[in-house]
Structure 1
Amino acid sequence: MKFRRHTVVQEDTGIDLAPMLDFVMNLLIFFIIAAAFVHESGIRVNRPAAKTAKPEDKGSIFVAVSATNEVWIDRQRVDIRRLRAEIERMRRDRPKAAVVVQADRDARAGLMVEVMDQARLAGVADVAISATPQ
């Protein structure tokens, strides 16, 4: 009688990292794309405080008015006469976006009104003023 030996083939018992790498790559792509849609005004302003201030949850176009009465949009200083065209350009990418005016508390109120007026002339119905919650 002939005996046959059965050899057991050992399988690789390691952890398959492919699904985790796919997940990490998807997260990376998501954050890269999401970062492309964030447009900040470009400067820091000392916003006034308000008890009724609430966070804006939808994608917005931020326009900043500095204490030295400079207007900034998309990290660039803009003349008030060019502001309407810049807002119209940014609204082509995001037609439903609101405009948020981030005015410094020492900025001229008349300039803030001009910024709001230029935003409305650009076709934006939803214009808000940014404030710090108390």
Structure 2
Amino acid sequence: MARRGSRVQTDDEDVELNMTPMLDVVFILLIFFIVTAVFVKEPGVDVFRPDVNQSEQMKPTLLVAVTSADEIWINRNVYEITQVRGVLEQLLSENPRAEAMIQGDQDAPIGTVLDIQEILTELGVEEINISEES
């Protein structure tokens, strides 16, 4: 009796998995997460702030820090009080509806903090907060 051939036909060719669509999906997800990521702005120096209760969380677009040594930090650079207006004008030209936060060290001169607040008010910044949380 002759044996019949198998009903399943097999080719001698190897079957390959096409990875292109999966790579496209991975790159699209990567781009999505990069675009939607929130980048944290830091002033460039750690300040020790007084302990006060603050109920709401703020995410400022403009961050200014004043240290106990009366240094003014903006975007990881130290500025004199005479230079602050020019730097803030430049930052506000990039983002006219910026929200500002001033972080003051607990031993920082209050006059410097108020001078920065006055400059921001004169430049038309509507939302100015002084950080109180540590």
Q: Please tell me the TM-score bracket, short chain as reference.
A: 0.7 to 0.9
Q: Distance in 2 between matches of 1:113 and 1:70?
A: 14
**Cα distance in structure 2, aligned partners of 1:98 and 1:124:** 7
> Higher mean Cα deviation, 66-75 or 4-13?
4-13
Once residues 53 and 130 of structure 1 are traced to their aligned partners in structure 2, the CA distance between those partners, rounded to angstroms, is 12
Name the CA shift for 1:29/1:51 in 2 (closer, same or farther; >3 Å): closer
**Count of aligned residue pairs for this structure pair:** 127
Q: CA deviation at 1:12?
A: 3.4
SS of 1:115's partner is: helix
Is 1:105 aligned to 2:106, yes or no?
yes
What runs of 5+ residues in structure 1 fail to find an aligned partner?
Answer: none
Which protein is bigger by CA-based radius of gyration?
A: 2
Task: Check the 8 A contact 1:45/1:103 in 2, yes or no.
Answer: yes
Please give the alpha-carbon distance, in whole angstroms, between the structure 2 residues aligned to 1:34 and 1:50: 26
Alignment RMSD, CA only? 2.9
| 4+ long deviations beyond 4 Å | 3-6, 13-16
Deviation larger for 22-31 or 65-74: 22-31
Q: Percent identity?
A: 22
Give deviations 1:71-90, integer Å, cap 9, x for gaps: 11011101111111111111
Which residue identity is paired with 1:26? I
Moved more, 96-105 or 3-12: 3-12
Counterpart position of 2:80: 79
Letter in 2 for 1:17: M
Which has the higher mean CA deviation after the structures are superposed, 72-81 or 8-17? 8-17
TM-score norm. by structure 1 comes to: 0.77
Matched residue SS, 1:102: strand
